Amino acid sequence: MEGHHLKGSKGELVSSAGIIVTGFRTMLIAIAIAIAIVAGAVAVAGRWYTHKSHQQTERVFRRKQDRDRERAELTREGQVTGRYVDAIKLLASATPRATRRHLQSRKNKEQQRA
């Protein structure tokens, strides 16, 4: 890169060339280490964020699951109650007719005996 600074007037390396090259290499390594540290910090932050996001998603899922379970239970109870009410209505409406039929058949049998 800066080869003209490392060579003397006759084209040979100057005595301080080793120091300059070593300093340049050290700088490149320091930059690479800094980049690796920043990349590591970003990876750790990403992992932490993902973990927290996953925990939040699990909490929301559990709440929805509980809510759905409660709704299903209420629906089942409502269906059972509705069926019970319908059965009672059916019994209430059918009982007088059935009783009348039963009484009428008893009368008919008694009249036939007499």
Largest CA distance in the chain: 153
Q: pLDDT value at position 4?
A: 57
Instruction: Quick: pLDDT tens for 24-50.
Output: 899 999 999 999 999 999 999 999 999
Number of domains in the chain: 1
Question: What's the per-residue H, E or C state across the chain?
Answer: CCHHHHECCCCCECCCHHHHHHHHHHHHHHHHHHHHHHHHHHHHHHHHHHHHHHHHHHHHHHHHHHHHHHHHHHHHHHHHHHHHHHHHHHHHHHHHHHHHHHHHHHHHHHHHHC
Identify the segments of the chain with pLDDT beneath 70: 1-9, 11-17, 94-103, 114
Question: In terms of residue numbers, what domain contains 104?
Answer: 3-113
pLDDT score recorded for residue 39: 97
